[in-house]
Structure 1
């Protein structure tokens, strides 16, 4: 594939001076597969109804829904049993934590209008503050805009308090990495304890293949430091109107 032209955005002061993006906070919901195997029906409802409504909130700047397939599951690294049940990851990108108030109010209003299905069985929800963003120069776009960049997959890395794995952009297929640290919030909103780090590796190649390339770098990371992996797994993005394309 021919490389895109020009100088990467993160190396052009004039581009960066026009704006660095205003996302500071992630709300991450990790869930098990549907108890009755109705994952495709749930993804259809969430993508066509629930998820678009969140964007009426000025604090919600982007959203990303991910699904694990059997091939994705086989490509995971060692993961504790508590997190190995995760097959769905939903992320909302907020301008600030105060936006979560409107997020809850909208959820209640949609429920009152009979617009909600029973949630997928939750594993963990977390509120995270973004602290590191990096993009591979070859993709040209800046790290600030990666949540809007078309991905073929995402490798999700959930660890105990850990430095950002910025070196992973050197792995073929990794277009960039965002990392964020968790905060303790009210139990009604999230359950992730303070001190967790979540990293998204945005991928422009098949996530299962990239997972194999990432494994050696991740295993070295965990051997050399005090970082404990909680989840290290590839995921596919939901494909609209092809609800059964990627399922657990």
Structure 2
């Protein structure tokens, strides 16, 4: 179905009403559950822990992703410890200062007996949002992609000086957000400073889009200025269908 009208990013009068206030991402990447209880963990996190974070004024959106065996088979790059990533949780913050209330809330929920042991971590990072772009065909502007109902996400970790904004031209990619990791305290993050993370928001099955992206990424990585670290498709959590997408 073709949506009517002019894309938001081509309308100055639409953009003049607001560009969004998300500046910072907190990204937690983890392994699958050590005892295979991924479904139970996803149920708890989605019904209890994740909604509570939105009582914080600095948290504007959140997104939980899972890698399935089919997703794993189509990873274009998966090096060293990053190969262990099967879960990705992202919170979208208005500013880095929101991290302190975020940690305080986590402690308070723990004191209330409301926390499960975390999934085994692979890497956490605090990132500064950089370039954003939306495919004109989806009409909505790049600023609102975190609230757009995705069918999946293709996630990139790279050492790069340029964001992969041209990926929005690939069929099934509705838009791209890129961000760069910040120097923060070790209790908050372990990601290498300056590492770039990119979210390709998808409106087609992530497995199908991954096949289309592979040759495009190969061309991007032929540039000496871009070193791939991790590149993989993911599915979003489907509420109340906890076992629909699991590692």
What TM-score do you get using the length of structure 1 for normalisation? 0.99
User: What SS is found at the alignment partner of 2:63?
Assistant: strand
Query: In the alignment, which residue of structure 2 is the partner of 1:171?
Result: 170
Number of residue pairs matched by the alignment = 247
Ranges in structure 2 where 5+ consecutive residues have no aligned partner: none
- The worse-fitting range, judged by mean Cα deviation, of 224-233 and 121-130 is 224-233
In 1, are the aligned partners of 2:82 and 2:230 still within 8 Å (CA)?
yes
Deviation string for 1:157-196 (max 9, x for gaps)? 0111331101101100000000000012111111112110
Deviation at 1:81, TM superposition (A): 2.0
Task: Provide the rounded CA distance (Å) in 2 between the counterparts of 1:232 and 1:51.
Answer: 25
Query: In the alignment, which residue of structure 2 is the partner of 1:183?
Result: 182
Query: In the alignment, which residue of structure 2 is the partner of 1:101?
Result: 100
User: What SS is found at the alignment partner of 2:78?
Assistant: coil
Structure 1 residue ranges, 4+ long, deviating more than 3 angstroms after superposition: none
Task: Provide the rounded CA distance (Å) in 2 between the counterparts of 1:7 and 1:226.
Answer: 35
Deviation at 1:218, TM superposition (A): 0.4
Task: Provide the rounded CA distance (Å) in 1 between the counterparts of 2:191 and 2:183.
Answer: 7
User: What SS is found at the alignment partner of 2:96?
Assistant: coil
Task: Provide the rounded CA distance (Å) in 2 between the counterparts of 1:160 and 1:45.
Answer: 34
Query: In the alignment, which residue of structure 1 is the partner of 2:232?
Result: 233
Deviation at 1:237, TM superposition (A): 0.1
Trace 1:15-94 onto structure 2 (pairs within 5 A): 15-94=14-93
User: What SS is found at the alignment partner of 1:120?
Assistant: coil
Query: In the alignment, which residue of structure 2 is the partner of 1:198?
Result: 197
User: What SS is found at the alignment partner of 2:226?
Assistant: coil
User: What SS is found at the alignment partner of 1:48?
Assistant: helix
Task: Provide the rounded CA distance (Å) in 1 between the counterparts of 2:42 and 2:167.
Answer: 30
Trace 1:211-230 onto structure 2 (pairs within 5 A): 211-230=210-229
User: What SS is found at the alignment partner of 2:62?
Assistant: strand
What's the Cα RMSD here? 0.6
Ranges in structure 1 where 5+ consecutive residues have no aligned partner: none
Query: In the alignment, which residue of structure 1 is the partner of 2:123?
Result: 124
